[in-house]
Structures are given as C-alpha cells and as structure tokens.
Structure 1
Amino acid sequence: MYIWKRDNMEQTAYEALLKTPRMFSFTQIKNALANASRECLYRVADDRIYKAIPAGQGIYVVEISEAGPEALKLRILQETAVTPQPEVMPEIIRYVTEWFDLDTDLAPFYAMAGQDTLLKQTIDTYSGLRLAGIPDLFEALCWGIIGQQINLSYAHTLKRRIVERYGRSAAAEGEQYWVFPAPETIAALSVPGLKGLGMSERKSEYLIDTARMLAQGKLTRELLQDTGDLKKAEAILVSIRGIGPWTANYVLMRCLKMPTAFPADDVGLHNAIKLLTGMDRKPTRQEVLKLAEPWKGWESYATFYLWRTLY
C-alpha cells in the first residue's frame, strides 16, 4: 500500500506498509542495530530506524517503524518538497526486505537450533532476529577489508571518515544521513588520498583495486549469485588481492545471504563460543568446525546469532 501526502510546504512524507513474515521481531533487529552505536550509515532512536537509501535518481531518508504485529511502516522523510517517482517506494521496499532478510523462512533454522546445545541458548533469547545484511556489495567488501587486523572501534572510525569524505548524503529532520561511496568514486582516488584518512597503504590499494573491479563491471552481485555455489563464489572473491577466506565468507553471508557462508576463523565467533561453553580459552579452528557440523545449511545464521551474544 502506498500513500503520498504532504504534511506542509517544507516537509513531505511518502509511506508504505511492508508485511513481515512469521518469526520476525522488529524489536530484536532494532536492538541489534542499536548496539552498533558507532555505525555511521543508520540511526536508531525512539523505537525507529532511520537510514538513507538510494532509489531512482535520488537518496531518500527512510524512517522504519513497527505497524502492528505483522507489518512495518516505511516513511520517506525529506526536508524540501520532492516529486514522487513511481519506482522509489518499490525500490525502498526491496532494499529493506533484503536488509532485514524478510524472504527467508526461519522455521528450519529454529528446528535445527532447538536441538543444538549451543544455539538453543541464542534462539531462546533472540527469537525473531533476522540476519541484518549489507545490501551494497561494495560497502560489504570495503567493510570486510577495513576491518582486517584492527579493532572494531577503529574500523568504524575509518569507515566514517571514508563515508563523510566521499559518500553522498541527505538531510531530514535536522539530521544528516549518509550513503556509502560509489565504486566509481573510490576507483578514481590515489593511494595517498585514502592514506590521509588513516588507512594503511596496503588497505588503500585493496580498496581502490576492488572499487575499480566493480566500476568496470568485472565483479558484480549477479556474477557471484549466478555461480549458485558457495565455493565457486568464494573462489572468485579470494582471487582478488586483499580478500581472503574470512572476508569472502563475511561478504557472502552479509551481502548475498548465502546460508552456508561461514567465517570459521572469525574472532567474534570464537569469543561467543568461549562465552557460551564456559571454556577457559578460545576454541581451535577444528573445535569450531566440529561444533558447526550440525549447523550445515544454516552456518550464516548460526554465526549471526552467536555474534549477537557479544553485544
């Protein structure tokens, strides 16, 4: 359902209701997003999520809120009057659907997790949580590269510097909201330009090289999706300089929502397992793989739920 209405001469609102699936909790996904307090590409406030989403030829700030037990209300906010475009709200609906992974049937995951000693603890606490994704492939790749071998806090600092220097933005209700830079923008930079933001020379090279691949059409979501196979998609990504198995699986998990993607060497995953099992040390890779044997087909969701126990 689409509703276009003008509140006053300075502000417009364009609203839609998005039906949500069974086993979805807006509260759970809102709380998970809110805990990433240093994130610069969305804001959580007053039981609402705000995000700038590119659609059509523009950028729209979208307010997402709960509209009853089985629907979300999506409301476009603009500080100046804009002409409605027919394709805008369907694009935004597709973006939010993908971001919150609303098309996935979680019943098989919960059936499996309910029989797993480790995962049962997480689904009891976070029932209805969906795998919050990163729909933009370039953003997912960059975030994976930026976060390599540095702490999460500094990774967020670097991300914010890149976004605010090279990204696009839109204003709404006194706040500025950002969209991650386009590959073409980063592809045109030199290494010193990124190093000046605090990025290492090697990571600067990786980001620019990756941006050029996307800008030239040599790497696309469709290319990865059309493989129809996790290992083939992973092989494409790890052939790119600066992308190893962890980054590849992180991207396939968060961006392409491949259910079997599994960043088995992830530090957060190991810390969550240590916490829930009461181990006095982090598990070895082999111990992680052994624990994950019952998760087959749902490794990405198992990882996401285990991460959630840490924040």
Structure 2
Amino acid sequence: MDRIIEWDEQNQELRLLVPEEFSFDENLKYLSRSSNECLFKIKDERIYKALPIEKETLVIEVSGENGDYITVRFLGIPSPPQSVRNAVALYIHEWFDLGRDLGPFYDLAKLDPLLGKAVTSFYGLRNMGIPDLFEALCWGILGQQINLTYAYTLKRRLVESFGRHVVYEGDAYWVFPNPENIAKLTVADLDGLRMTVKKCEFLIGVAQFMTEGKLTKEQLLYTENVKAAEKILVNIRGIGPWTANYVLMRCLRFPSAFPIDDVGLHNAIKLLLGTEKKPSKEEILKLSAKWSGWESYATFYLWRFLY
C-alpha cells in the first residue's frame, strides 16, 4: 500500500494513485444515482463521508481533480497519525476497488455483444464496493423484492433510527449501525422502518450471527472460493443466492460472483438486445459464457444502463 499512497504534509492531504482504467467522474456519477443516499454527501464533485477509525469518527473529503490520484482531506482535525491515514487509505482503496487490473476485462468486453457498449459508455467505472460486511448484508436484505428507490428509503430509516452521526459545519454525517446495536433489538423495535416482519427478523438474525462471531469478513475471504463462500452465506436465514452473490460481489470482491437472478440484470440485457421479453436463465448463461472470472464486473457495468 505504501507505494501507492503519499501524504502531503503541507496541504494535509492523502493521495492515492489510481490505475490506468479509472475515471473519478464515472464513479462519482454512479454514487450520485440516488438523492436519498444517507451515508455520504456529494457537493461540487467531491464526496463527504464519516468514517469510524480507531474509536473516533472522522469526516473526510474525497476528490479526483487530478486524473493520476484520488485526494483525501481530513476535515476539522489536525494532522492525523500514520495509523489513521493508513486505515482511511485502505478504506478508499477498497471502496473504489483500486487494486483491480481491469485490462483483461476490457479486452474481453470489447469483443462481447453486450459488454462492448457498456465499457465504452462507462470507461473507468469501478465496482464501487461496500467494505463493511454487515452493511453489505443489510443492504442486500433491504433490497430484496423491492425497487431501488424504496430500498434507499428503508436504508435511511434504519441508519437514522439506529446509527450515529457527527456534525461538521452544520451537516450531519451518518455511520451505519453496527451489528451489536441491531442484535439486541426486537421486531417491534423496527416497526418504524415500515418493512416486512420477515426483513426485520433477517436483519436482527444476521446481526446476532455476526455478534456471536459465527460470520466474519475474514472467514469468507479465507475460502478463496466463490462457491464455498456462497454456501456459508445461504445457510443463514434470509440470505438466498441473490443476496449472497450481491454481497460477494460488492463486499468480498469475488470477481466470479454472479447474481444471475437479478431483475436489473435481466432488464439491462433485455434493453441492450432490444427484445420484448426478459432473457431466461439459460439464455443468460449462454450470453455470459465468455465472462468467466469477470461476472461481477459484467453485471455491474450492465446495471449502469438502468441505474
């Protein structure tokens, strides 16, 4: 990590070098897709976000005016110690998936009838991640069988009811609830979120599972196998193949994770093919045969045609 980050002492800035196939603007467009996002704010093409680091909650500003690197500024605090800078750099590196060489993906995509237009339209887009496993699992559960707009509404209710926030220059910056806070709740405590009883039970159950140490990000990464990791997740109540693959794709960064039953994926393929009917699973398997090892990025790029 040291070779790709630098600290500008004079300007109090952290700089992370970015790969060749990277566009801050394309990633910013993706992050701007919902005006109801509650975990960061975007102002003047800069991202503002609260991060819990070493028992403190920092507010950072992330920008990309220089195409060679991402710049991070720490707001409202003096020069942070090296350990804090390292933790923030690691978070940004993972959030933007900066360690991924997209060259091979672009090579195969340019020859693919579906992906060719996607990589041309969204060149430099990264699979923007959800580094925190509990947040990723909750987001997957919240999004089950509802549209994206309402999923954002449910997330905001959950965060503002059970998360915490810090204030900087009059703005509140929220941090996602931790599993310990949700694990001790009852379904009745979640009534105000106005979601199904089942989803309430799933959220509490996942929180308890993680609080008890039965599920960790390290455990899933240790498998180094998308199918083995998927099997661990689907054995948890409320997590089916779609949610499991969504989490493996957005949080664990398994490049072969493939939420093949995703409605958005089906609609994107339908749009690009100009057909009246959504593709069948067999048709999707045929269309994706050459995506091996890049299913997660193929899915993410196709989603961008819709949202």
TM-score class normalised by the smaller sequence: over 0.9
Q: CA deviation at 1:284?
A: 1.1
Q: 2:7 — aligned with what?
A: 2
TM-score (norm: length of structure 2): 0.95
- Secondary structure at 1:196's aligned position in 2? helix
Q: Answer whether contact 2:264 2:303 (CA < 8 A) is retained.
A: yes
What secondary structure, in the 3-state scheme, does the structure 1 residue paired with 2:73 have?
Answer: strand
Question: What is the rounded CA distance, in whole Å, between the counterparts of 2:12 and 2:39 in structure 1?
Answer: 21
Match of 2:36 among 27, 38, 44: 38
Partner of 2:255: 259
| Residue 119 (structure 1) aligns with | 115
Deviation of 1:67 (Å): 4.2
Q: How many residues align?
A: 302
User: Residues 83-232 of structure 1: matches in 2 within 5 Å?
Assistant: 84-232=80-228
Q: TM-score, normalised by structure 1?
A: 0.94
Shift of 1:69: 1.8
In the TM superposition, what is the alpha-carbon distance from 1:169 to its structure 2 partner? 1.3
| 1:268, distance to aligned residue in structure 2 (A) | 0.5
Q: 1:8 corresponds to which residue? A: none
What one-letter code is carried by the residue in structure 1 that aligns with 2:286? K
- Residue 22 of structure 1 is matched in structure 2 by 20
Match of 1:242, as an amino acid? G
Deviation at 1:4, TM superposition (A): 5.5
Instruction: Compare 136-145 and 50-59 and name the one that shifted more.
Output: 50-59
CA distance in 2, matches of 1:270, 1:298: 17
Matched residue SS, 1:92: helix
Q: Distance in 2 between matches of 1:24 and 1:83?
A: 28
- Structure 2 gaps, min length 5: 1-5
Q: Structure 1 stretch 29-38 or stretch 132-141: which is displaced more? A: 29-38
Distance 1:36 1:304 in 2: 16
Distance in 1, Cα, partners of 2:14 & 2:170: 23
Deviation, structure 1 residue 84 = 3.1
Unaligned runs of 5+ in 1: 6-12
2:72 to 74, 79, 85: 74
Shift of 1:138: 0.2
Query: What amino acid maps onto 1:63 in structure 2?
Result: E
Write the letter of the residue equivalent to 1:37. S
Give the Cα separation in 2 of the matches to 1:141 and 1:232.
17
Over 3 Å counting, the alpha-carbon distance change for 1:24 and 1:57 in structure 2 is same
Are the counterparts in 2 of residues 249 and 261 from structure 1 also a CA contact under 8 Å?
yes
> Cα 1:241–1:42, aligned 2, differ >3 Å: closer, same or farther?
same
On the 8 A contact 2:24/2:67 being kept in 1, the answer is no
Question: What is the RMSD computed on CA atoms of the aligned residues?
Answer: 1.4
